[in-house]
Amino acid sequence: MELKDILSGIEGLKVRGSLDINVENVENDSRKIAKNGMFVAIKGFDLDGHAYIRQAIDNGAKVVVIEEGTKIKKSDIDDDTVVVMAPDTRIVNAKIACNFYGNPTRKLKLVGVTGTKGKTTTTFMIKSILEKHGQKVGLIGTVANYIGDKNLGESSRTTPDSLELQKLFSQMVEAKVDTAVMEVSSQSLKLHRVDGCDFDIAIFTNFSEDHISPKEHPDMEDYFNSKLLLIKEAKKSFINNDDFHVAKIRKMLPDCDIKTYGIDNEANLIAKDITVTNSSVDFKVKIGGRNERVKTGIPGRFSVYNSLAAICVCELLGANAEEIKEALLEVRVPGRSELVDNKKGLTIMIDYAHSPESLQNILKAVKSYTRGRVISVFGCGGDRDHGKRPLMGQISGNVADFTIITSDNPRTEKPEEIVKEIEEGITKTKGKYVAIVDRTEAIKHAIEIANKNDIIVLAGKGHETYQEINGEKYPYDEREIIKKIIG
């Protein structure tokens, strides 16, 4: 593609060199640049892409995009290299990606889901319903990226970088995908990764404290305003009217087309007569003008909210009541309140909960509907926030009936030391617990002491199928571990 076409419609640029040059690849990672490439230098939190311009040129870059005000060594740029100067290379990176891949989101329906919790489950529900409706669906999110049934592998981020994202969309267009549904993180909105995406529908699931750190959001206001960008961009949005913060959005954005869903407050779509068990949740809801009984195999009240969001989107896209009911009954989300069938008939749930808030949420949720005991099995990742370890111990001690503290992804830390830090919190409670560092032995112990009225919650790893120890990822799928133990 010619450079003038890649830069088409992008304002505020200054160019040294010819715009008629042909560009065969665009990257913001100098290691990935190939012959006749274009390198976009971005200032990151840890690394500055401008320091790798020389490497990019040596690898084949004929065009480099740099940010205004950045000092570049004259020796880093060859005389015949085309230089594009931009006010903000992050923003330009997204626009370049859209142009280079032919603005693919204009050629399919695009659904974006944001919120603190529920993004993954909601996207999987939407995918499942639309496939029942006969559509080919693409999915981009935390667990993996999909084109139809084809799993493209685990994502490095919830929402990929602009170039990777637009490449995925172009692959979806080539594969004749009807609708793409994606998780849209606050970081991706703040850092302009989704700039240029043509969102037909947006969902805002809920809002609570998360991702507040020097490298993410300085405060809750910045976190909320970042998520709000998706609603501003979408043609139509659905929001959770039971969430205190989210419910304010309609008044904040009176010019946006926003409808609501909920359980407790008045909304455009309301769930009533809810029944929650260890293995499912069912409720009444109006679909196509008729009251329908909907059931899903993902237990918990939060599943009702996720189901309502999915129903809003899919009904708008043409799905009928029977398609919605069948899909929600069958849908399973890897590592999100995922129930594992087993020969003992025990209720064993795998969940990705790996923060104090997410652990408290899942344990309280299952506690509310479990007839027997809640048996909590969890650890904490190494080389991560030490402060959350005693907090999570305290939470499990207060909520669960029995806790088994174990290893998660110890990375470069000693798992025994991580377990000790968790114990500091649980000893402040009256909760019964045992520490078993080996995760397989911990799961085995949980299975041995559980009965059919109990629920075992294996928290922390979720969809992961590995355990990370000293820089190596070893195969570790909790579903397979359970099968081996039960036999």
Closest of 315, 313, 310, 370 to residue 337, by C-alpha? 370
Please report how many Cα atoms fall inside a 13 Å half-sphere around the Cα of residue 183, on the Cβ side.
26
Sign of the alpha-carbon dihedral angle for 400, 406, 411, 414: positive
Q: What are the structural domains, with CATH classification, of the chain? A: 3-100 (3.40.1390.10), 104-330 (3.40.1190.10), 338-486 (3.90.190.20)
Assigned token pair, 234: 């979408």
Q: What is the pTM of this model?
A: 0.91
CB half-sphere exposure, 35, CA atoms < 13 A: 0
Evaluate if residue 210 carries a pLDDT over 90: no
Question: 255: which residues sit within 8 A by CB, 6+ positions away?
Answer: none
In this predicted structure, the answer to whether residue 213 has a pLDDT above a threshold of 80 is no
| Cβ–Cβ under 8 Å, residues 41 and 55 | no
Would you state the pLDDT for residue 51? 96
Alpha-carbon span 44 to 21, nearest angstrom: 28
Q: What is the pLDDT of residue 208?
A: 85
Sheet strand arrangement including 109-114: 150-151, 146-147, 137-140, 179-183, 109-114, 201-204, 236-240, 258-262, 269-270
Residue 247 CA to residue 322 CA, distance in Å, equals 30
* Structure confidence at residue 110 (pLDDT): 98
Portion of the chain with pLDDT greater than 70, in percent: 99
Confidence at residue 211, expressed as pLDDT on a 0 to 100 scale: 65
Which of 445, 442, 335 minimizes the C-alpha distance to 379?
A: 442
pLDDT for 102: 98
| Percent of the chain predicted with pLDDT > 90 | 93
Handedness of CA 117, 123, 128, 130 (dihedral sign): positive
Count Cβ neighbours within 10 Å for each residue of 405-421 and write b for 16 or more, e otherwise: bbbbbbbebebeebbeb
Position of tokens 């070893």?
474
What is the SS3 string spanning 273-287?
A: EEEECCCCEEEEEEE
Given this model, what pLDDT does residue 154 score? 75
3-state secondary structure the chain: CEHHHHCCCCCCCEEECCCCCECCEEECCHHHCCCCEEEECCECCCCEHHHHHHHHHHCCEEEEEEECCCCCCHHHCCCCCEEEEECCHHHHHHHHHHHHCCCHHHHCEEEEEECCCCHHHHHHHHHHHHHHCCCCEEEECCCCCEECCEECCCCCCCCCCHHHHHHHHHHHHHCCCCEEEEECCHHHHHCCCCCCCCCCEEEECCCCCCCECCCCECCHHHHHHHHHHHHHHCCEEEEECCCCCHHHHHHHCCCCCEEEEECCCCCCEECEEEEECCCCEEEEEEECCEEEEEEECCCCHHHHHHHHHHHHHHHHCCCCHHHHHHHHHHCCCCCCCEECCCCCCCEEEEECCCCHHHHHHHHHHHHHHCCCCEEEEECCCCCCCCCHHHHHHHHHHHHCCEEEECCCCCECCCHHHHHHHHHHHHCCCCCEEEECCCHHHHHHHHHHHCCCCCEEEEECCCCCCEEEECCEEEECCHHHHHHHHHC
Rg (C-alpha) for the chain, rounded Å, is 24
- The answer on pLDDT for 209 being more than 80 is no
Beta bridge partners of 375: 402, 456
User: Across the chain, what does the average pLDDT equal?
Assistant: 96
What is the structure's pLDDT at 314? 98
Tell me the per-residue pLDDT of 355-375, one tens digit each, with 9 for 90 and over.
998 999 999 999 999 999 999
Check residue 133 and give its pLDDT.
98
In terms of DSSP bridges, do strands 272-276 and 281-287 run parallel, antiparallel, or are they unpaired?
antiparallel
pLDDT tens string 149-166: 999 987 778 889 999 999
Q: For residue range 375-403, list pLDDT tens digits in order.
A: 999 999 999 989 999 999 999 999 999 99
Q: What is the pLDDT of residue 158?
A: 85
